Structure 1
Amino acid sequence: MKLGAFSISLGVKDINASKAFYEALGFTAFAGDIKQNYLIMKNENAIIGLFQGMFEGNMLTFNPGWDENAENIDEFDDVRQIQKQLKSKGVTLITEADAQTSGPASVIVHDPDGNVIYVDQHR
């Protein structure tokens, strides 16, 4: 199962304070828009998404079809294919992609400890 680029998405209280903190750790803004309360920060191939007011808690995020530079990769498992594999293994889906569509879609699952895993395909 090819899940694509990996990042951690953090639900933050103050995006400006979080930006400054992660910059102190060597991260730089890679994508996003602080005016829209989200930034994607990068330090080499480590990626952290900062999201203020969009969701509570933190989640592991995978982006099928992208590498760690948000560049398209040729071969990847579509999120619907990943969803089908997860279901066949008995994984309970919190949200599902419409299996009759193509293109952007997402799936959310919880691991056994309740951690949120977000599989978010952008193309």
Structure 2
Amino acid sequence: MELGQFSVSLAVKDIAKSKAFYEVLGFEAHKECGGIEDKWLIMQKGTTVIGLFEGMFDSNILTFNPTDVRAIEAQIKQNGFPIINETNGDSGPTHFVLEDPDGNRIMFDQF
């Protein structure tokens, strides 16, 4: 199972303050992935990727970006793990969310 790029999606209170903080640590915002006005953005430093999301999530989420999110969802279902939010449609961009045994949210997002 290929999980794709890994990132952490952070639920932030103030996107501008969070962006400024992570810039001090050397992260740079992807210009084509959200922005302050959108209340979300993706930042990267080397191979480390974090997403900043204001008002979209209640808690932080582990995020994977596979090329075939529907195949991973099917495998997880076959193994008896419940899906919180299922994928939509048979093709194109979609995502699903599940929780690990400790309640940590994991999102598989295909765009």
Q: Give the match for residue 79 of structure 1.
A: 69
Match of 1:116 among 102, 105, 110: 105
Number of aligned positions between the proteins: 109
Matched residue of 1:93: which SS? Answer: coil
Matched residue of 1:119: which SS? Answer: strand
Query: 1:105, CA displacement in angstroms?
Result: 1.4
Q: Give the match for residue 5 of structure 2.
A: 5
Structure 2 portions without partners, runs of 5+: none
Percent of counterpart pairs with the same letter? 54
Matched residue of 2:70: which SS? Answer: helix
1:22 is the counterpart of 2:12: no
In the alignment, residue 110 of structure 2 is paired with which amino acid? Q
In the alignment, residue 80 of structure 1 is paired with which amino acid? R
Q: What root-mean-square deviation, in Å, do the aligned CA atoms of Structure 1 and Structure 2 show?
A: 1.1
TM-score by length of 2: 0.92
Query: 1:82, CA displacement in angstroms?
Result: 0.6
1:94 is the counterpart of 2:84: yes
Q: Give the match for residue 70 of structure 1.
A: none
